[in-house]
Amino acid sequence: MKPVDSVIAQVGAVARAHPNDPALMADGCTWTYRELWARTETYARAVLSSGAAPGDVVGLIGSNEPAYLAAYLGIMRAGCATAAISTMIAPSSVRAQLAAAGARVVITGRLADDTRDALAGDYLLLDLAEPPTGAGAFDLPEVGPDTTAIIMMTSGSSGEPKGAQHTHASLFHAVWQMASAFPHHRGDRGVVFLPLYTCTPEQALPTLCTGGSLDILPGFDPERVADACVHATTFDAVPTIMSRLLEHAPLHKLANLRWILFASEPMPVHLLQRWWDELPGVETHQFYGMTELLTLTAAPHALLRQVPSTVGRAFPSTGIVLDPVEGHGSDEGEIVASSPSCMRGYLNNPAATDAALTSEHALRTGDIGRFDERGLLYLTGRVKDIIISGGFNIAPAEIETVAFANPGVREAVVVGIPSDRWGETPVVVAVPTAGSALTAMDLLRDCRARLSTYKRPSAAALVPTLPTTGIGKVDKVRVKKMIESGEIRITTP
């Protein structure tokens, strides 16, 4: 099908051309494209009848289910911007993200009591399961390419949360690049188990824009994913998930897949080789992107087989340069990228926008990379001190702040150490105050009790002193080496 100019227009075109094709499946139920589009317009009218106007931001909080995607599309169809909020964060973080997005209307699925209490009175909550009826009198607006389509919230791990604004044009550019680089076809069947609140643009929209269907699972369970893959052609994952599938899933059930697409971090070469050995007929593709710029590079299967350590070449219409960074090799630099899929900027945050975007509207990614003589890009580090655990960005400084709040802590540092399950996992190392009865387990429990689930350290240690650099800063590299060598002995739950 020839592409149009927005995700909304494209999904609507598919629904008109193939109304009886399956679109979404979950728990034995199937929505056709006719049903998906009808629900999309129902949510659009519900949003407008609630008092939201085109151009407003509408929050969306929910788990993996067909109604979530209909609401995601419906908010955009109303001319509003969808701000998908994580279900894994603390109630205070939910409020912070909604405040950063400027949302007053929120479509919600089932919420924990403390989250619902935190929102009550300040937000108009619409029920995801039963959107308001009687809104048929509302005419749905024409939505232009420069209208904001989605607000992608940062995790808030490095301070106050920020909302990356993507227009209908930038979102569709990214989605269509994904659908073209990693071929999606009418009749494809994808398996969705990653959280829709974070991965909808990459794992759901390319399939819906090309007439495929999605089998939506509530989360990741190796056996259930494998069962779904028996009848599927594609799925999206992250390296940590693929590692767990290798260990715990009956892999013969994945043999009918055409391809697997992974992202969030490079795949360890030994893990890729295991996939190829176990499933020689299944292609593995990789892409590199981020909240602020969804599609930077692509590494299709044939390229990965030749050079498994690369993240590939830039997508069409994407330009990448390396900006030298002090302390890194002469062939390395910060990856600075320009693309039609780049965000417009951070919503209501000009200072953060100016820090992230150059005067030519190129994004400073914060990642360090290098090119080889073939123009292939490799990721070699990060400018900022960020831990990536299970695909989520975690700022050590936030955990350190929590650790320092413990009266028994004099100094504290948080580092990421390798994890077979998560890629990296945070560990807190502290120097106790004189005379303190604090134990490593006490510190670990205290930190875990006051942090969102995915930010919680997996281990802690107490030491008499922390190593420092020549200018007196804590030497995090040395701390990591001391943990890995066993010189610092960590305590786990």
pLDDT bin (cut points 50, 70, 90) of residue 327 is low
pLDDT at 405: 87
Q: Does residue 122 form part of some domain?
A: yes
What's the pLDDT tens digit per position in 390-425?
Answer: 888 787 878 988 998 898 998 899 999 999 888 999
Distance between start and end Cα atoms, the chain: 53
What's the pLDDT tens digit per position in 342-364?
Answer: 999 999 999 999 999 999 999 99
Distance of CA 440 to the CA centre of its chain: 32
> Of all residues in the chain, what percent carry a pLDDT higher than 70?
96
CATH code for position 170: 3.40.50.12780
What's the pLDDT tens digit per position in 17-64?
Answer: 999 999 999 999 999 999 999 999 999 999 999 999 999 999 999 999
Mean pLDDT, rounded, of the chain:
91
pLDDT at 368: 86
Q: Does residue 279 form part of some domain?
A: no
Which of 201, 219, 237 is the last residue before a domain boundary? 219
Q: Does residue 262 form part of some domain?
A: no
Q: Are strands 148-153 and 81-84 parallel, antiparallel or unpaired?
A: parallel
pLDDT bin (cut points 50, 70, 90) of residue 157 is very low
pLDDT at 13: 96
Structural domain including 393 reads 387-485
Q: Are strands 22-26 and 29-32 parallel, antiparallel or unpaired?
A: antiparallel
Q: Does residue 271 form part of some domain?
A: no
Note the maximum CA span of the chain: 74
Which of 171, 194, 219 is the last residue before a domain boundary? 219
Which of 172, 197, 219 is the last residue before a domain boundary? 219
Section 120-127 average pLDDT: 92
CATH code for position 462: 3.30.300.30
pTM, two decimals, is 0.82
Per-residue tokens: 448: 């875990």
pLDDT at 137: 62
pLDDT at 135: 56
CA–CA gap between residue 232 and residue 126 (Å, rounded): 33
